[in-house]
Amino acid sequence: MTNLSTYETFIDVCRTRLTSRAFDPAQEIPREHFDLILEAARHGPSGANAQPWHYIIVTDAAKKKSLADYFVAEATARAKSKMKFPTPNYRGLETAPGLIVVVADFRYINAFPVLNDDSDLDKMYKENAMRILLQSVAASTMSAHLAASALGYGVWWVTAIGQEAAQNSLKPLFGVPDDLSVIDIMAFGAPLKAPYKRWKKSLDEIRSWDSFNMDVYVDQAGIEKWIKEDRHKVMYRDESKID
Ligand SMILES: Cc1cc2nc3c(=O)[nH]c(=O)nc-3n(C[C@H](O)[C@H](O)[C@H](O)COP(=O)(O)O)c2cc1C
């Protein structure tokens, strides 16, 4: 049985989920909206059904400022390095009316197939278990982003970069227990500027039937070229304005 009208509604939400990096500070997010958004996160799939996630809704203005301060400082330090990654302005986190800290529980990697005997085989299983865990948290977080988008909000997915430093700065701020990790921040609200659609690969570029379509395979040099020549455009430009 197919239900195209439900699909149309769903795909519209997928297409119009747009990243914004500054939101109207005057807008108040009703408490129920946080519940509607996290209700979607709750139903995410996860390896071993471990559900290794927790979401902290941030309403305290001082905490939002400290969070933004951390990200601005980290981005400033990064800009001075030789990384050459086009960094956005993280000040928008301070005034985002919707702000949720995404917490991951990496202890659940033991819930996935691991040997725990420090052997080489165990290493391989552990790496895989880490991937299962990251994918699980992302699957849940993505549902939250789509739910926020369905409610009409602009969304912003921010990675808690700087593992140890990020953990040391952010965990005490939000009372996160030592053995858990802040993995991402989700910000949302009414965009301050009109959001725009970023470049997306075409269906032909991302899809093969039965075996990988080598016509769309990108070799290492192609990746390097894309990073050098295209990345900055696709991150911060409307796809209709890319030459
Ligand atoms: C796993 C993940 C990590 C991201 N990390 C950041 C981030 O740290 N900072 C940021 O400004 N945007 C971040 N983004 C947002 C992306 O830049 C954005 O999704 C991308 O440019 C495509 O735009 P769109 O979301 O409007 O489709 C992240 C997105 C994902 C899925």
Q: Residue 198: CB within 6 Å of ligand 1? A: yes
Distance (Å) from CA 170 to ligand 1 centroid: 20
Q: Is 87 helix (H, G, I), strand (E, B) or coil?
A: coil
Q: Residue 18: CB within 6 Å of ligand 1? A: yes
C-alpha 146/C-alpha 114 separation (Å) is 32
Distance (Å) from CA 49 to ligand 1 centroid: 26
Write b or e for each residue in 52-66: b if 16 or more Cβ atoms lie within 10 A of its Cβ, otherwise e. bbebbebeeeebbeb
Write b or e for each residue in 74-102: b if 16 or more Cβ atoms lie within 10 A of its Cβ, otherwise e. bbeeeeeeeeeeeeeebebbbbbbbbbbb
Query: Mean of the pLDDT values across residues 35-58?
Result: 98
Q: Residue with structure tokens 């033991």?
A: 110
pTM score over 0.85: yes
* Closest ligand 1 atom to Cα of 18: 26
pLDDT at 1 > cutoff 80: no
Q: What is the model's pLDDT at position 162?
A: 65
Distance (Å) from CA 158 to ligand 1 centroid: 6
pLDDT at 124 > cutoff 90: no
What amino acid is encoded at 26 in this protein? A
Task: For residue 109, count other CB atoms closer than 10 A to its CB.
Answer: 23
Give the pLDDT band of residue 84 (cuts 50, 70, 90): confident
Domains of the chain, CATH where assigned = 4-195 (3.40.109.10), 199-243 (no CATH)
C-alpha 82/C-alpha 80 separation (Å) is 7
Q: What is the model's pLDDT at position 79?
A: 81
Residue closest by Cα to atom 29 of ligand 1: 157
User: pLDDT of 161-214, one tens digit each?
Assistant: 767 888 998 999 999 999 999 999 999 999 999 999 999 999 999 999 999 999
Q: Is 19 helix (H, G, I), strand (E, B) or coil?
A: strand
Percent of the chain scored above 90 by pLDDT?
Answer: 78
**Nearest by Cα to 17 from 226, 201, 227, 191:** 191
Q: Residue 158: CB within 6 Å of ligand 1? A: yes
Percent of the chain scored above 70 by pLDDT?
Answer: 99
Residue closest by Cα to atom 17 of ligand 1: 235
With beta carbons less than 8 A apart as the criterion, state whether 65 and 72 touch. Answer: no
Task: For residue 126, count other CB atoms closer than 10 A to its CB.
Answer: 18
Query: Mean of the pLDDT values across residues 38-45?
Result: 98
Tokens of 149: 């988008």
Mean pLDDT taken over the chain: 94
Q: Residue 134: CB within 6 Å of ligand 1? A: no
DSSP 8-state symbol, 152: T
Q: Residue 149: CB within 6 Å of ligand 1? A: no
Q: What is the model's pLDDT at position 144?
A: 98
**DSSP class per residue in 26-37:** T----HHHHHHH
Q: What is the model's pLDDT at position 230?
A: 93
